[in-house]
C-alpha cells in the first residue's frame, strides 16, 4: 500500500474560508477552512450527522452558506467561468424505481451542456458510450436502473458524474453501495480518474478512505487545516471510537478538525 506523502501544494482549485452552514437557523457547520488542490484526492471523514453532506451541498452550490466563502479557481477555462464538478450521490437518495435507463443516467451528466428539451448530439451519445464502456457497462445501456445490481448502478452514476469531464468529482459514501466485488475496480477507476482531476471522497468508513486518499479532512461540526501531520492509530481511535489497523501505513498528510465530541 503506497501513500502519497507530500502535502498538496500550488494554488488551490477550491478555497473554503470560515464557512458556516445550517438548516432552519440551526448551525451544523462552522469555522470550516479547507483547500482542495488540482489532482488532490481528499477524503472527508467524520461521524454520521457530523456535517459531511452539508459541506458537499455547499461545495455543489445546493445549499447557501450562512457565513464565510467558497471561492473556486477553475484551471481549464483559464480561471474564468465555473469550476466543473461531477457528483456521485449517496445510495440512499437514489430512487431505483425511477423509469430511466443506464444510458439516460449517464447522458444526464451532460444535460448542463445542452439547451433544455433539445436532443443529445451524436457526439454526446458517443461520449456516453465511451464512459459506459470504461465503467464496464457495455450492453446495459437500455436497461432500466431498477434491474441493475448495486455495483452496476453505482457505475452508471459514476459515469454520470464523470461524463462531462469535470475538474472535480465528489463521491458521497461510495462504500455503501452493495456490490463488494466491484470495490477493487472502483478504486482502480478512481485512481485513473484522479490523474486528470481532483477527487473528493466522503465516507464515514475510514478504512475505505485510507487506502485511497492523498489527504484527509475530518468533519464534525468544524474542520481545520493541519498541514502534514501524521494520522496515528491513537488519533483514529480517539476520533472514531474504533480500533483501526494502521500498520505499515506510516503517516498521511491530513486536514483535521478542531473539536471532536464523539
For the CB of residue 21, give the shortest distance to ligand ADP in the complex, in Å.
Answer: 9
For the CB of residue 36, give the shortest distance to ligand ADP in the complex, in Å.
Answer: 17
**Residues 250, 5 contacting (CB under 8 angstroms):** yes
For the CB of residue 48, give the shortest distance to ligand ADP in the complex, in Å.
Answer: 4
**Residue showing cell 485512481:** 191
CA distance 231 to 240: 12
Q: Which is nearer to ligand ADP, 26 or 195 (CB)?
A: 26
Q: Which is nearer to ligand ADP, 94 or 100 (CB)?
A: 94
Sign of CA dihedral 239, 8, 73, 114: negative
For the CB of residue 78, give the shortest distance to ligand ADP in the complex, in Å.
Answer: 34
The grid coordinates of residue 226 equal: 493541519
Contacts of 196 (CB under 8 A, 6+ apart): 39, 165
**DSSP character at residue 69:** E
CA distance 68 to 81: 21
CA distance 58 to 70: 8
For the CB of residue 26, give the shortest distance to ligand ADP in the complex, in Å.
Answer: 7
CA distance 214 to 4: 5
Q: Which residues bind ligand ADP (CB under 6 A)?
A: 23, 28, 46, 48-54
Q: Which is nearer to ligand ADP, 90 or 101 (CB)?
A: 90
Q: Which is nearer to ligand ADP, 32 or 186 (CB)?
A: 32
Q: Which is nearer to ligand ADP, 128 or 256 (CB)?
A: 256
Q: Which is nearer to ligand ADP, 53 or 152 (CB)?
A: 53
The grid coordinates of residue 7 equal: 502535502
Sign of CA dihedral 249, 250, 256, 262: positive
CA distance 170 to 56: 8
For the CB of residue 51, give the shortest distance to ligand ADP in the complex, in Å.
Answer: 4
Q: Which is nearer to ligand ADP, 76 or 262 (CB)?
A: 262
For the CB of residue 246, give the shortest distance to ligand ADP in the complex, in Å.
Answer: 22
CA distance 171 to 63: 17
Q: Burial letters for 42-69: b for 16+ Cβ neighbours within 10 Å, e otherwise? A: bbbbbbeebbbbbbbbbbeeebebbebe
Amino acid at each position: 500500500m503506497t501513500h502519497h506523502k507530500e502535502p498538496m501544494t500550488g494554488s488551490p482549485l477550491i478555497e473554503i474560508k470560515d464557512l458556516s452552514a445550517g438548516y432552519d437557523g440551526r448551525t451544523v457547520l462552522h469555522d470550516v477552512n479547507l483547500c482542495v488542490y488540482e489532482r488532490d484526492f481528499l477524503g472527508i471523514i467524520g461521524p454520521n450527522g457530523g456535517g459531511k453532506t452539508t459541506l458537499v451541498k455547499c461545495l455543489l452550490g445546493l445549499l447557501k452558506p450562512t457565513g464565510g466563502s467558497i471561492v473556486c479557481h477553475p484551471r481549464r477555462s483559464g480561471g474564468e467561468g465555473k469550476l466543473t464538478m461531477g457528483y456521485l450521490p449517496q445510495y440512499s437518495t437514489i430512487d431505483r424505481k425511477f423509469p430511466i435507463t443506464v444510458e439516460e443516467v449517464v447522458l444526464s451528466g451532460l444535460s448542463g451542456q445542452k439547451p433544455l428539451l433539445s436532443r443529445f448530439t451524436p457526439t454526446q451519445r458517443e461520449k456516453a458510450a465511451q464512459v459506459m464502456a470504461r465503467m464496464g457497462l457495455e450492453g446495459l445501456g437500455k436497461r432500466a436502473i431498477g434491474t441493475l445490481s448495486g455495483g452496476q448502478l453505482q457505475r452508471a452514476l459514476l459515469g454520470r458524474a464523470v461524463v462531462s469531464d469535470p475538474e472535480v468529482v465528489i463521491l458521497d459514501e461510495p462504500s455503501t453501495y452493495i456490490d463488494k466485488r466491484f470495490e477493487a475496480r472502483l478504486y482502480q477507476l478512481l485512481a485513473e480518474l484522479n490523474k486528470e482531476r481532483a477527487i473528493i471522497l466522503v465516507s464515514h468508513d475510514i478504512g475505505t478512505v485510507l487506502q485511497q486518499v492523498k489527504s484527509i479532512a475530518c468533519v464534525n461540526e468544524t474542520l481545520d487545516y493541519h498541514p502534514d501531520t501524521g494520522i496515528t492509530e491513537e488519533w483514529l481511535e480517539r476520533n472514531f471510537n474504533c480500533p483501526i489497523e494502521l500498520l505499515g501505513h506510516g503517516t498521511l498528510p491530513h486536514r483535521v478538525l478542531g473539536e471532536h465530541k464523539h
